[in-house]
């Protein structure tokens, strides 16, 4: 009986300690940082986790190389040709960018976001929580709210940052913090319909359109709206797969499939 009481007391104590730690964790997250315990755990776990990742990558790459060696070689050749073609445009882009910069300076406008990209490795993926851990942090100039993307499209936004790592909330997260302004891509002079996009499931987003009469069809591309000082306009988010009308509330929403396969990402960049 006494033993049982002691066990129950221990369980209650551990649960209380869990609540306390969770309280510190939530408070730190609200401030855009990581609590001390989580930060220590991540730093302690990082070295063996990196080793295991490297071993798993090596095993996976070797298997793929054995199975698709010839195809990969051809693909590599093709990609080198693309790279050479892309390099030819770089000087033109650079001179145009300089022109934009000097015009912004003349007009006394703020520096536009999205000019600098910080490459990062995904060192942890937590699909149930719609979060990923990156190996870059305050040391690389990261701040809360910065967008995380791949060359295919938007992945999420930085939620917490500590010295050498950060966590990003994926765009598929159902949390309110994951909502961002979005546009349906339209060629000028057509006005792109705008709305707020948020996650509604593991591989689904919902775009609530500001104008219930906006013309949206399946297959339309959804991009970031640039309505914030951190997320630049034009990053691809996904593709419309269904449009739903709610006449009772005068609402039109579009279901969007994200462009990036969020479960498979290994490398991303954070846009500063």
Partner 1 sequence: MRGWIGVLVAGIVLYLAAAAEQSLGPRTLFGGRFDYLLIAVACVCLFTSRKGGAVAGFFAGLLYGALDGANMWQYVLTRTLGGYFIAIVASGGIERSLFAAFLAAVFATIFCQLTLMFLAPPPAVLPFLLDTISTAVYNGVLAMAVYAVLNRILGPRKAGTVHF
Residues near partner 1, by CB under 8 A: 6-7, 10-11, 14-15, 17-19, 21-22, 25-26, 29, 34, 37-38, 41-42, 44-46, 48-53, 56, 123-129, 131, 133, 159-160, 167, 174, 199-202, 263
Lookup: tokens for 8: 């129950």
Residue whose CB is less far from partner 1, 73 or 129 = 129
We find the least distance from the C-beta atom of residue 21 to partner 1, in angstroms, to be: 5
Q: Positive or negative, the Cα torsion across 171, 49, 38, 137?
A: negative
User: Which residue's structure tokens are 């221990």?
Assistant: 10
We find the least distance from the C-beta atom of residue 193 to partner 1, in angstroms, to be: 25
Residue whose CB is less far from partner 1, 56 or 103 = 56
User: Do residues 158 and 122 lie in contact, with contact meaning Cβ atoms separated by under 8 Å?
Assistant: no
We find the least distance from the C-beta atom of residue 47 to partner 1, in angstroms, to be: 8
Residue whose CB is less far from partner 1, 34 or 150 = 34
We find the least distance from the C-beta atom of residue 26 to partner 1, in angstroms, to be: 7
3-state secondary structure of 272: coil
CA dist., res. 22 & res. 31, Å (int) = 14
Sequence-ordered strand ranges (E) for 72-213: 117-126, 131-134, 147-149, 154-161, 166-170, 180-184, 194-201, 204-209
Residue whose CB is less far from partner 1, 236 or 262 = 262
We find the least distance from the C-beta atom of residue 158 to partner 1, in angstroms, to be: 12
Please classify residue 192 by burial: count the beta carbons closer than 10 Å to its beta carbon, then call 0-12 exposed, 13-18 middle and 19+ buried. middle
Residue whose CB is less far from partner 1, 225 or 238 = 238
We find the least distance from the C-beta atom of residue 56 to partner 1, in angstroms, to be: 6
Residue whose CB is less far from partner 1, 22 or 65 = 22
Lookup: tokens for 76: 């590599």
């Amino acid at each position: 009986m006494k033993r049982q009481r002691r066990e129950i007391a221990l369980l209650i104590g551990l649960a209380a300690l869990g609540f306390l730690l969770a309280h510190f964790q939530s408070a730190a997250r609200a401030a855009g940082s990581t609590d001390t315990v989580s930060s220590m755990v991540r730093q302690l776990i990082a070295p063996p986790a990196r080793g295991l990742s490297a071993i798993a990558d090596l095993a996976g790459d070797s298997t793929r190389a054995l199975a698709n060696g010839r195809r990969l070689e051809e693909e590599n050749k093709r990609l080198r040709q693309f790279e050479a073609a892309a390099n030819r445009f770089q000087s033109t882009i650079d001179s145009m960018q300089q022109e934009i910069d000097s015009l912004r300076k003349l007009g006394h406008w703020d520096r536009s976001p999205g000019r600098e990209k910080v490459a990062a490795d995904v060192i942890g993926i937590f699909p149930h929580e719609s979060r990923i851990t990156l190996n870059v942090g305050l040391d690389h100039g990261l701040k809360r709210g910065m967008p995380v993307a791949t060359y295919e499209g938007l992945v999420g936004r930085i939620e917490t940052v500590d010295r050498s790592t950060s966590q990003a909330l994926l765009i598929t997260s159902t949390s309110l913090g994951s909502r961002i302004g979005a546009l349906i891509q339209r060629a000028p002079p057509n006005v792109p319909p705008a709305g707020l996009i948020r996650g509604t499931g593991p591989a689904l987003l919902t775009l609530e359109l500001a104008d219930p009469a906006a013309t949206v069809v399946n297959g339309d591309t959804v991009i970031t709206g640039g309505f914030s000082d951190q997320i630049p306009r034009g990053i691809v988010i996904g593709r419309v797969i269904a449009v739903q009308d709610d006449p009772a509330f005068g609402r039109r929403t579009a279901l969007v499939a994200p462009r990036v396969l969020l479960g498979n990402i290994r490398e991303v960049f954070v846009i500063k």
